Amino acid sequence: MQAGLEYRHGSGYEPGMTGCAGLDLIGVNHAYDGTPVVRDFTLSVAPGELVCLLGPSGCGKTTVLRLLAGLEPLQQGRIAIAGKVVGEPGRDLPPEARGVGFVFQDMALFPHLDIAGNVGFGLRRLSAGEKRTRVKAMLNRVHLDGFVHAWPHQLSGGQQQRVALARALAPAPRAMLLDEPFSGLDTRLRSAVRDEALHLLKSDKVTTLVVTHDPEEAMFMADRIAVMRDGALEQVGRPAEIYTQPASEFVAEFMGEVNRIDSVVRDGHVATPFGRVQANGHAEGKAVHVLIRPEALKVAGAEQGIVTAPPIGVLPARVLASRLLGRTSWVHVCLNTDPTHRHEGPGGLEEHSHWHVRVPGHFLPAEGSELRISLDPRQVFVFPAPAPT
């Protein structure tokens, strides 16, 4: 074995053991049967940091996690844990030698072991007494104290997921890899289990990479979000950065719904029905997409908290429908109540007269009623329109 490639049997928990490890993927490429699924992938997770790998189904998220865990032979690039190379083409440390815990998408509990047996599974180095103490402590942390001798089939989905988490955390891994760990749960249970997991991981300062395709989940959990598209990273940054300064139209749309209009850059600005906004450096005459978040539209009379900039252009809008979605209300409006009003976009106002507006709280204007709407120009994104094919 090569000198830099050191075997560690660090996944065995010993009392008093602490410490967490950074994760590094450097220039990783991976293909299945000649089809590339991970492309030029470089990402570091700092010790104690929680990074969410976010992207649509099939973009390669699980493959990245499998490569990190050592479940897939590395074809190109390098993988390091705690600064030690654990994977290079032809030289992969086996999963059990990497000191990482994982909870995979389809990971089930061992049906032939009770809950204590499942949680204690990775605690090979402990005496029977130490093992019992550790299992008890872990079950306490996931609020399943009474379940030591229960069997997996006697537990609900959420309880099983918490056991899986306890099992992965019991050996005090230096890093955790979680692949859609809450996906099987209903909305309420999901946020409860997620909240618990987050506190557990953060209080233990465990380095964590979590895969999800849910932007809200990523924003809830992550110190940083890595947005992935077609095998490559599209943007990496803090949640607020990703949401308010998306690097591409793909990221903007993936993070949350947008109203989109076509426009053309003139005098450094683009036209919207509400007036001109800055073109953010796009070249004169360039065809662009203007993306406007539903919460960037401000409704006169609705309480919408702090507006980040003075709103522009107050326009009349007719309510097509309004729905209460819990914390927010969603209002569909039609902007072209005045047929003489036109903006300069190539498509004209007609084709995008239907807009979505998000207002906090209970605000349900009647269908057909008229609202006055303005735009917070700071929540408008301008990206080049893709070249026609």
Q: At 107, give phi and psi (nearest 5°).
A: -75, 120
**Angle, in degrees to the nearest 10, between helices 157-169 and 128-141:** 130
Binder of ligand ATP out of 37, 46, 107, 364 (CB under 6 A): 37
φ, ψ dihedrals at 253, nearest 5°: -75, -35
Strands 76-81 and 84-88: antiparallel
- In the complex with ligand ATP, the residue whose CB is nearer, 255 or 371, is 255
* 62 sits near ligand ATP (criterion: CB under 6 A): yes
CA dihedral sign, ordered 34, 37, 39, 44: negative
Which is it for strands 269-272 and 275-278: parallel, antiparallel or unpaired? antiparallel
Q: Is 63 an interacting residue with respect to Mg ion (CB under 5 A)? A: no
How would DSSP label each residue in 160-222?
Answer: HHHHHHHHHHTT--SEEEEESTTTTS-HHHHHHHHHHHHHHHHHTT-EEEEEES-HHHHHHH-
CA torsion angle for 308, 266, 243, 350 (degrees, to 10)? 90
Least Å from the CB of residue 226 to ligand ATP: 12
Binding span for Mg ion by CB under 5 A among 62-70, 111-119, 313-321, 340-348:
62-70
Burial of 136 (0-12, 13-18, 19+ CB in 10 A): middle
State which of positions 10-29 bind Mg ion (CB under 5 A).
none
Q: Which is nearer to ligand ATP, 106 or 186 (CB)?
A: 106
State the number of binding residues for Mg ion (CB under 5 A): 1
* Residue 229 binding ligand ATP, by CB under 6 A: no
User: How far apart are CB 57 and Mg ion at their closest, in Å?
Assistant: 7
**Closer residue to Mg ion, CB minimum distance, 56 or 94:** 56
**50-54 and 224-229 strand pairing:** parallel
Q: Does 361 bind ligand ATP (CB under 6 A)?
A: no
Note whether 58 binds ligand ATP by CB under 6 A.
yes
Beta strands in 239-369 (DSSP E): 259-264, 269-272, 275-278, 287-292, 297-299, 312-324, 328-334, 354-360
62 belongs to the binding site for Mg ion (CB under 5 A): yes
Instruction: Please give the backbone phi and psi of residue 274, each rounded to the nearest 5 degrees, phi first.
Output: -90, -5
Is 73 one of the binding residues for ligand ATP (CB under 6 A)? no
| CB-nearer residue toward ligand ATP: 54 or 172 | 54
Contact 187, 29 (CB under 8 A): no
Task: Write down the least CB distance from residue 179 to ligand ATP, Å.
Answer: 7
Cβ proximity to ligand ATP, 54 vs 116, nearer residue: 54
Residue of 48, 60, 215, 237 interacting with ligand ATP (CB under 6 A): 60
User: What residues pair up with 226 in beta bridges, in sequence order?
Assistant: 53, 236
In the complex, least distance from residue 37 CB atom to ligand ATP, rounded to whole angstroms = 4
Q: Tell me: does residue 63 bind ligand ATP (CB under 6 A).
A: yes
Tell me 266's DSSP state: B
Residue 60 binds which of ligand ATP, Mg ion, none (CB < 5-8 A, kind-dependent): ligand ATP
Shortest separation between residue 180's beta carbon and ligand ATP, angstroms: 7
Residues 223-282 interacting with Mg ion (rule: CB under 5 A): none
Residue 59 interacting with ligand ATP (CB under 6 A): yes
Q: Which range binds ligand ATP by CB under 6 A, 53-61, 253-261, 272-280, 342-350?
A: 53-61
DSSP designation for 29: E
Q: Which of 98, 213, 229, 276 binds ligand ATP (CB under 6 A)?
A: 213
Cα separation of 241 and 235, whole Å?
10
Contact positions vs Mg ion (CB under 5 A)? 62
Contact positions vs ligand ATP (CB under 6 A)? 32, 37, 55, 57-63, 213
